[in-house]
Every structure is written in C-alpha cells, then in structure tokens.
Amino acid sequence: MAKRGKKYLNALKVLDKEKLYSIEEAVNKVKEMADITKRNFDQTVELIFRLGVDPKYADQMVRGSTVLPHGLGKPIKVLVITQGEKVKEAEEAGADYVGGEDIIDKILKENWIDFDVVIATPDMMPKVAKLGRILGPRGLMPNPKVGTVTQDVKKAVSEAKKGRVEFKVDKTGNLHVPIGKVSFDPEKLVENALTVYDTVLKLKPSGLKGQYIKNAVLKATMDPSVKLDIAKIQKELEAKAA
C-alpha cells in the first residue's frame, strides 16, 4: 500500500469509515476534505463504480455517455471530421476544428491531438479508422454508441460543448466518470452525480446475473474516497422514475 501524505491523512479524519453516505452527504464530505488538503489546483470530482460485470464478454460491456446538467467546469474543444454540407453545419454549431481528409492527415503526420472530443459523420468512418492507434488509447475515437458518429452534427457539437461525458468499464469492472470540479456549488455536483448514476443504472446488461452495481464512491483527484449508500440512491432514482 502506498504511503499517504499528511494532507491525505488529515482529510481522512473527517470520514466515518463504517458509514455509507448519500450523494448530498458525500459531496459535502468531498468539499470538506478539499478545504483541509488545500491542493494547488481545482481537483476533479469522480464518481467511481465497482460493477458486477465481466467486460471480456461483449454482452456485459458497459459503455455510454450523458450530458452533465452543469458541465465539467472547463471549455471543451470539439473536432468534427466530415465533408460536404456538414462542414458548414459543424462550423455554425460552434465546433473548434472542422475538416475531412486534411484533418486526418494532420493527426497522422503530426500526432496532433489538441481537442477533447471527436465527432465524425458515418461517411467518414472508413477513413477515420486509420486514426485508431492515435485516438483509441486516449478515448477519443468516435463511436455511435456514445453519439459521436452521427449525421446530426449540430446536436452532437452542442452536447459536447455543454459537457457530455463518455465512459467505459475497464478490464477489472471499474467505471470512472468525472462529474465536475471541487470548486462547484454542492447542488451542481449533486445533480451531475445523480445524472451519471441514473445513466449507468439504465445501462445494466439485460443478461447479467447477480448484483450490477456492487459499490460506488465519490472522490476528488488526490483525496480519500467517500463510500456511497447505493441502495438508498437507487431507491430514490427508481421513485423519481415511477
């Protein structure tokens, strides 16, 4: 186990190790600990799930995206790879970069990745496939499952700019989703967290046997994790949906 620093250990003192916290309580604890540790940057807050899936089976792969009500607290640079009339649509929608084969060549030759989201129209995907080795490892490859391969360029750019987050379960069954910054108002972090939780809940594989969400925590980048009361959260979300 890695040795923890003094700031981390001081933050840990305000946590009840035996308690499972509601989203609201967890957000307050995350902010309280951030006030104690006083990091020299605005930490990202993540909602982290331990899922009861085996990602090596295609029908148990959990992958999706959602638009956070309050964004991620940073400007999002959007690249659209398209051609023809869709170029103008992308530019009018506010995309930072728009292009076709010229953009693809730039990425290939210069290893250029000065963007946060890549959107492509379906007709460009055979050519975009060449970028897999560059974009894939960085989680930037366009994918129809998360709405980044689409004819509706205007909608995709708008959602990306508002704060669409994409996520994918890793090989160990863990799922990490950013929900904002420590500096956010508590209410905004709560709403973003509930939006993500609800989205993940709805992505439960239909053939899964056993418990889907085994546990979940909320944490800032360098501070301790706060355990969530998943049973309580799921009941609240189910009640809202009813």
Q: What is the CATH number of the domain that holds 198?
A: 3.30.190.20
Q: Count how many domains the chain has.
A: 2
d(CA 164, CA 176): 14
Total number of residues shown for the chain: 242
Q: Are strands 226-227 and 213-220 parallel, antiparallel or unpaired?
A: antiparallel
Say if residue 91's pLDDT is above 80: yes
Using the 3D structure, point to which of 104, 131, 161 is the last residue of a domain. Answer: 161
Residues 6+ apart with CB under 8 A from 203: 62, 63, 64
Residues 177 and 66 grouped into a single domain? yes
> pLDDT, tens digit, for every residue of 111-132?
999 999 999 999 999 999 999 9
Task: Let me know whether 66 and 88 are in one domain.
Answer: no
Whether residues 62 and 87 share a domain: the answer is no
CA 234 to chain centroid? 19
Same domain? 109 vs 229? no
Name the pTM for this structure: 0.82
94/204 same-domain check: no
Averaged over 32-50, what is the pLDDT? 96
Distance in angstroms (rounded) separating the CA atoms of residues 189 and 24: 9
Mean residue pLDDT of the chain comes to 93
For residue 188, give its domain range. 17-71+165-241
> Are 180 and 129 in the same domain?
no
Which carries the bigger pLDDT value, residue 71 or residue 207? 71
Residue 10 pLDDT exceeds 70: yes
Distance of alpha carbon 119 from alpha carbon 140, whole angstroms: 9
In a domain, 24, yes or no: yes
Regarding whether 225 and 198 lie in a shared domain, the answer is yes
